[in-house]
Structure 1
Amino acid sequence: MEEEETVGKLMEAVGEIAAISDYRNVYKKLFCNLSRRIKLLAPMLEEISDSREPIPEEEAKTLLKLKEALVAAKDFLRFCSDGSKIFLVLEMEKIMKSFQDITVQLEQALSEISFEKLDISDEVREQVELVHAQFKRAKDRIDMPDTELYSDLSTVYNESTDDNTDPVILQRLAEKLQLTTVSDLIQESFTLHEMAAASSSADPGENTEKMLRLLEKIKDFMQIQNPQMGDPAISNVPPSDEKPKTPVIPEDFRCPISLELMKDPVIVATGQTYERGYIEKWLDAGHDTCPKTQQKLPNTSLTPNYVLRSLIAQWCESNGIEPPKRPSRPSKPSACSSRDRSKIDALIQKLSSPNLDDQRSAAGELRLLAKRNTDNRVCIAEAGAIPLLVNLLDTLEPRTQEHAVTALLNLSICEENKGRIIAAGAVPGIVHVLKKGCMEARENAAATLFSLSVIDENKVTIGCSGAIPALVSLLSEGSQRGKKDAATALFNLCIYQGNKGKAVRAGVVPTLMRLLTEPAGGMVDEALAILAILSSHPEGKVAIGAAEAVPVLVEVIGSGSPRNRENAAAVLVHLCGSEQQHQYLAEAQERGVIGPLQDLAQNGTDRGKRKAVQLLERINRFMEQQKHVQAQIESPTQANSQAEQPRL
């Protein structure tokens, strides 16, 4: 059938896009985002293909539009992946226009899909809706590529002679375009001819000549810089067209981002599981939402999914596949370049200096080096920087203090360094900065405590340090970012039962209720997530009840986001399991909670549905009890009334 052929073409296009992996150019971020979003459409296409129901005519037309958009995206990505880096940068306006057109085309095609008519499951629907929302945002906000690179290339491209070129510019071009070896230069020359020939410019021959002269300048410059630069190495391993047959990987074993078998599965705060490396890249890019559900993450903690890892290993063994190995984390100083290692050693010396200026500048540079990559974090820690940075946390010089705590924050991203920082006695100093530092230092101190508290035993240490009252203060009076950092740290610390009472006694509940009733403040998600944790603690229930939370919770259950409705229902479930449950049940019923709960039981998240059903059952029992009590009250009254009647 024609519809089946269309679906087959759609799946083929997604597969071909997934196979394109080399975007080593100025548009890398844009192209990788486009490719990743398209790959996330694969589960929907598989469900359509597996369905035995015929595709309605209207939906078949929509799928044709999607096919046209995907084919255009495939051709565009392949063109940009295989082609000349110089050409792509010089044709920036056309490339960006094509990118924008394809983004709009994909967004429009996805907007017309009817999930009900195509019988798409809720889980896959959520994923496609996420992709659609991302395309919708992308068509209105395009991140511009490296304008400095475009300016440098244009300058050299338009020079009339070879003598005027600034070697600094040529150095930048060679590095940014990754044209530093003979292999790179030969490949660029080959692809440049192909792409320039495809240009719609008035005189492609002249353009090709000018670009080749530009490439020649880069090649001559690189040979001057590296006279030993030889011919490219040629592999003597013959290519093989044969691919070993492998069983189909179960969907639950694939990372929702990469769609590949997970090696190190971790759980985020929404309960979704991802491959650690991919979700870390997502979070490092500044995102604060779950990629699959698009719900805001109350914290960025990653919990190893040991059960799933074991199931994946068992599946691999039963299918004769070598189980995936977790990516090893660098632990030796040799992972760091010799140049960076020498620089780090020099900075450690300055950090030990009695001169305050030396200390400040060294802490600032270490802060930046630790932010750059994992290798540097390992090298800095093993060079002995952590105890020296901890000593600077008590300094009276604000800038030095800020550099020190932020350097520790960046170092703590490496799991091996978390233990080193705790062992160096850093927690009291971090809490001191949290209480007394400038706002940016306080924010980074809160973020550091969260990072350290990812390890369970550290939750106890931090909870006993006086950190929780200081975090509550920051949650109340901090900047927007400070409140976010404080909320994230408090959420993670309160996972440990012993810290819940400390948070309640520090006055966190009134602060959370204030944030919950200020939607414009942007803290509703975080406030509800923390309340949901605290509501399981006896002191938490009392405090939440005393804060007159029921009306607010009922309102959120009726009109909040899916995750907020779920958390509000969870809080109400705990309240209605306390000694004052009748009071809360009666108040919730009076506020009209039954209708929203029935809707949540039908349309909420899985956890939200369970909580809604629990509450409805409790309300029904409460109403039955009330009827029974009322009947008992009325029954003696009726008996007395009859006894008082005169006898005949």
Structure 2
Amino acid sequence: MEFKEGLMRLVVQKSKENDWVFDTGDRVIGTIHSPRRKWKLFHRSSSAIPSKPSKPQIPKEFICPISGSLMADPVIVSSGHTFERVCVQVCKALNFTPNLMNSPPPDFTSIIPNLALKSTILNWCQNYSIDPPKPLDFNSAEKIVRTSMASEPEKATISENELLIRGVKQAPAVNFNHAATEVTRRPTHFHSSSDESVSPTALTPPLPLSTQPSCYSSPSSSCSEMESPTKSPEEDEILTKLRSAHVSEIEEALSSLRRITRTREEDRARLCTTRLLSTLRPLLVSRYTSIQVNSVAALVNLSLHKSNKIKIVRSGILPPLIDVLKAGSPEAQEHASGAVFSLALDDDCKTAIGVLGALPPLLHLLNSEGERTRHDSALALYHLSLVQSNRSKLVKIGSVPVLLRLVKSGHMTGRVLLSLCNLSSCADGRAAMLDSGGVECLVGVLRGNEFDSRSTQESCVATLYGLSHGGLRFKGLAKAAGAVEVLREVEKRGSERGREKARRMLEMMRGRDKEEEEEVDWEELLDSGLGSRTRCQLGGGGGGSCVNSSEF
């Protein structure tokens, strides 16, 4: 009892000297400073243990500014910005420059893989047990970019005109070989129905090896015109009928639009608005043939105005237009090939048209029953093949054998040779043409003088000149095909450009022959002693008397 009382007095005394600190569970976790006691006791409570965050925050530099998601394949563009690769490809295809917060506009001229950032993102995902990001597919990225384009209408309009102005500085304007469409069905022969159309005699293709179309548009075409902010009553009336549930009203509106835009440039520029193009887009693939034909024909007329071309491409109307090329009615395909040809005349549209898949159906339509369809498809392929990326695509889809067969058959020789001439300027195209018998085919055309114009002969010679950069293989194939005699004839009687290229090819072939003859005369060398020396080295001599026999 005395011991217990003493112990209680000691506890009461200590409690007066120290202010004990308790937690919610009445457990002592420490003491406030006491002058007589310098040690402290602590008891860690379970509530004091910090909890691990459930989901880490993604660093800002890991997120693509366009898609807003974690980058799987980051690339650095010319301006120094980093984006997801497929987003850059879509922006280039649609000629769209996104608006970045507190940053200058990006430049998509060139892209470089950002391997360091890609490795950092993968390590970060591994550290936080997060699945690595998967690359976006092209369709998903296209939807994201189109959403951005729709949210920046003013900026898109400015960019269009800036691109058009740059295009005018770099290349001359164009004159259309494609006549504006009429309301009624067009005949199979060439017909001029607008101020920008040309007569059949003026449909001579540009000279070969040119980098731009050699034809010019009427001076009244303005590339700096912007879409009018005012809405015209005429446009509102057409749009109201186009959105109608009655087929007859839609047909009436399309016929009216087609008639209004057939001849007057100012009407084409005024009516080519974002509202009208978005309304016209689903009508291109209508199940009603008359609606499909008239909507594509109206699009051809709108595309004839220079400032409308990029606007049409950016409106997202190319995919349904390409669907018409693939599976539309014959008359709709005729108009669709003319629309693609018209859009392909603009340098800023060529890449997008190739990326979105217009090359295979255009190549297929070269064998179409409609003359107009064949000719417009051939000229569209020529203008699209002026871009290197499209040349590579044409080689991959097997266009070279198809084009050579058309040349051999004498079918659209002049127009087809223009595309072959462009393909011969790249390494892949040259290899494909040499493999497919291109040298023999072209030499045969020159020998037969099967030309509908002087420019066709120039195209044939220019294509051979491009193939001559194939080196010794071209030389062997040319000799086997008898090209020397044919080129001599062109050198005498051809056009100025044809004579110059023929002379260069002959000099190249003669120069190599002379060089080879001067270096080694194999027959003389064999007769004079190489054979006996070789026999001696092989042990054919008596007694192994040859000095070099042991070194063979």
Q: Matched residues in 2 for 1:422 and 1:514: separation?
A: 32
Note closer, same or farther for the CA distance 1:281–1:557 as it changes in structure 2 (3 Å cut): farther
Note closer, same or farther for the CA distance 1:497–1:390 as it changes in structure 2 (3 Å cut): same
1:489-525 per-position Cα deviation (integer Å, ceiling 9, x unaligned): 1111110111001112222212211211122x3x010
Note closer, same or farther for the CA distance 1:556–1:481 as it changes in structure 2 (3 Å cut): same
* Alignment of 1:531 onto 2:420: yes
Q: Matched residues in 1 for 2:342 and 2:328: separation?
A: 19
**Alignment correspondent of 2:260:** 369
Tell me how far 1:568 sits from its aligned partner: 1.7
Q: Matched residues in 2 for 1:393 and 1:513: separation?
A: 33
Tell me how far 1:409 sits from its aligned partner: 0.9
Map 1:238-317; keep pairs closer than 5 Å.
284-287=197-200, 289=202, 302=213
Q: Amino acid of the residue matched to residue 352 of structure 1?
A: R
**Conserved 8 A contact 1:557-1:564:** no
**Alignment correspondent of 1:390:** 281
**Alignment correspondent of 2:501:** 611
* Alignment of 1:575 onto 2:467: yes
Q: Amino acid of the residue matched to residue 286 of structure 1?
A: S
Q: Matched residues in 1 for 2:176 and 2:198: separation?
A: 18
Structure-1-length-normalised TM-score: 0.48
Q: Matched residues in 2 for 1:282 and 1:562: separation?
A: 27
**Conserved 8 A contact 1:472-1:507:** no
**Alignment correspondent of 2:485:** 595
- Residue 353 of structure 1 aligns to a residue whose secondary structure is coil
* Alignment of 1:436 onto 2:349: no
Which protein shows a greater Rg?
2
**Alignment correspondent of 1:497:** 388
**Alignment correspondent of 1:547:** 436
**Conserved 8 A contact 2:406-2:416:** yes
**Conserved 8 A contact 1:296-1:525:** no
Task: Report the number of matched residues.
Answer: 346
Q: Amino acid of the residue matched to residue 569 of structure 1?
A: V
Q: Matched residues in 2 for 1:418 and 1:269: separation?
A: 13
Q: Amino acid of the residue matched to residue 371 of structure 1?
A: R
**Alignment correspondent of 2:51:** none
Q: Matched residues in 2 for 1:592 and 1:535: separation?
A: 20
Q: Matched residues in 2 for 1:575 and 1:269: separation?
A: 30
Tell me how far 1:564 sits from its aligned partner: 2.2
- Residue 361 of structure 2 aligns to a residue whose secondary structure is helix
Note closer, same or farther for the CA distance 1:370–1:484 as it changes in structure 2 (3 Å cut): same
Tell me how far 1:472 sits from its aligned partner: 0.9
Q: Amino acid of the residue matched to residue 482 of structure 1?
A: T
Q: Amino acid of the residue matched to residue 287 of structure 1?
A: P
Tell me how far 1:379 sits from its aligned partner: 2.7
Q: Which segments of 5 or more consecutive residues in structure 2 lack a partner in the other structure?
A: 1-170, 178-191, 546-552
**Conserved 8 A contact 1:411-1:417:** yes
* Alignment of 1:469 onto 2:469: no
1:84-123 per-position Cα deviation (integer Å, ceiling 9, x unaligned): xxxxxxxxxxxxxxxxxxxxxxxxxxxxxxxxxxxxxxxx
**Conserved 8 A contact 1:509-1:544:** yes
**Alignment correspondent of 2:371:** 480
Q: Amino acid of the residue matched to residue 554 of structure 1?
A: V
1:330-355 per-position Cα deviation (integer Å, ceiling 9, x unaligned): 95899x9x9xx655432221011122
**Conserved 8 A contact 1:269-1:297:** no
Map 1:207-246; keep pairs closer than 5 Å.
none
Q: Matched residues in 2 for 1:611 and 1:280: separation?
A: 39
**Conserved 8 A contact 1:289-1:297:** no
Note closer, same or farther for the CA distance 1:585–1:407 as it changes in structure 2 (3 Å cut): same
**Conserved 8 A contact 2:241-2:253:** yes
* Alignment of 1:639 onto 2:552: no
Q: Matched residues in 2 for 1:297 and 1:408: separation?
A: 29
**Conserved 8 A contact 1:344-1:366:** no
Q: Matched residues in 2 for 1:470 and 1:642: separation?
A: 64
1:1-60 per-position Cα deviation (integer Å, ceiling 9, x unaligned): xxxxxxxxxxxxxxxxxxxxxxxxxxxxxxxxxxxxxxxxxxxxxxxxxxxxxxxxxxxx
How many percent of aligned residue pairs carry the same amino acid?
A: 27
- Residue 577 of structure 1 aligns to a residue whose secondary structure is helix
Q: Matched residues in 2 for 1:591 and 1:284: separation?
A: 42
**Alignment correspondent of 2:308:** 417
Tell me how far 1:286 sits from its aligned partner: 3.5
1:258-301 per-position Cα deviation (integer Å, ceiling 9, x unaligned): xxxxxx9757799xxxxxxxx997861432536xxx678899x8
**Alignment correspondent of 1:510:** 401
Tell me how far 1:629 sits from its aligned partner: 6.6
Q: Matched residues in 2 for 1:637 and 1:501: separation?
A: 50
Note closer, same or farther for the CA distance 1:632–1:268 as it changes in structure 2 (3 Å cut): farther
Tell me how far 1:385 sits from its aligned partner: 1.9
**Alignment correspondent of 2:351:** 460
**Alignment correspondent of 2:457:** 565
Q: Matched residues in 2 for 1:388 and 1:288: separation?
A: 37
**Alignment correspondent of 2:339:** 448
Note closer, same or farther for the CA distance 1:332–1:533 as it changes in structure 2 (3 Å cut): closer
Q: Matched residues in 2 for 1:451 and 1:269: separation?
A: 7
**Alignment correspondent of 1:220:** none
Q: Matched residues in 2 for 1:328 and 1:563: separation?
A: 28
**Conserved 8 A contact 2:205-2:414:** no
Instruction: Name the stretch that deviates more: 474-483 or 426-435.
Output: 474-483
Q: Which segments of 5 or more consecutive residues in structure 1 lack a partner in the other structure?
A: 1-263, 271-278, 306-324
